[in-house]
Every structure is written in C-alpha cells, then in structure tokens.
C-alpha cells in the first residue's frame, strides 16, 4: 500500500488511457521509492523496465539501456518495425541504480 502518492499514481495511470505508446521517466535521489511506486501502481505488469547506471556516462547509460531492451527480446528494432513489435505499453524507470547491483 502506498500512502501520500495519489497524485503521482493518477499521473502514471493516465498514461494507460492514451491511444499511442507512452514513455515515462521517473527520476530522483536514491532510495526514495521510485521503483516501488511504479511497480505498485502498475501491479507489476510491464513489458519492459530499465533502471539507469549510477554515475554512468552517457555512453554507459545508452549501452545499458540497449542491453536491457535486448534482454527483454526487443532487439533488431527499426523505425518501421517499432510500432509493430510494441503491442503493449512500456513502463520505464530511469534513476540511479544501487551501486552494488
């Protein structure tokens, strides 16, 4: 149960009402509940999730994002095939990962 985050949950859930796919970046300090908020709001039902690399360079962030996409079976995308392959919504979290992970 989440207390005091009704506004944020409404904003996230409003993305599901859109006809087109949505991209949502949730960012902030470590250990404030970003991942928990998203997981609880969407009832753990995602087709893709990614958490950024703590203190990573742009190249490291992009490489980690590409690797997450590939691990989720979304490799080989082209602009023409993007919409055909993505039949669901994508919930993505971008934040600081635990440095030990």
pLDDT tens digit sequence for 53-90? 989 999 999 999 999 999 988 876 554 445 454 544 44
**Residue 99 pLDDT class (50, 70, 90 cuts):** very low
**Residue 25 pLDDT class (50, 70, 90 cuts):** confident
Q: Which two tokens stand for residue 100?
A: 């030990």
Check residues 39 and 47 and name the one with the higher pLDDT: 39
User: Are the C-beta atoms of residues 52 and 64 closer than 8 Å to each other?
Assistant: yes
Spatial separation of the C-alpha atoms in residues 22 and 29, rounded to whole Å = 23
- Is this structure's pTM higher than 0.75? no
Dihedral sign from CA coordinates of 79, 15, 56, 48: negative
What does the pLDDT read at residue 30?
87
Mean pLDDT of the chain: 80
What does the pLDDT read at residue 76?
67
Spatial separation of the C-alpha atoms in residues 81 and 86, rounded to whole Å = 9
């Amino acid at each position: 149960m989440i207390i005091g985050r009704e506004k944020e949950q409404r904003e996230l859930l409003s993305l599901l009402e859109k006809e087109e796919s949505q991209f949502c970046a949730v960012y902030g300090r470590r250990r404030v509940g970003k991942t928990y908020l998203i997981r609880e709001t969407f009832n753990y039902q995602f087709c893709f999730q990614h958490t950024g690399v703590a203190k990573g360079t742009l190249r490291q962030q992009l490489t980690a994002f590409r690797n997450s996409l590939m691990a989720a079976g979304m490799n080989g995308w082209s602009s023409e095939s993007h919409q055909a392959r993505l039949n669901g919504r994508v919930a993505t979290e971008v934040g600081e990962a635990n440095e030990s992970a």
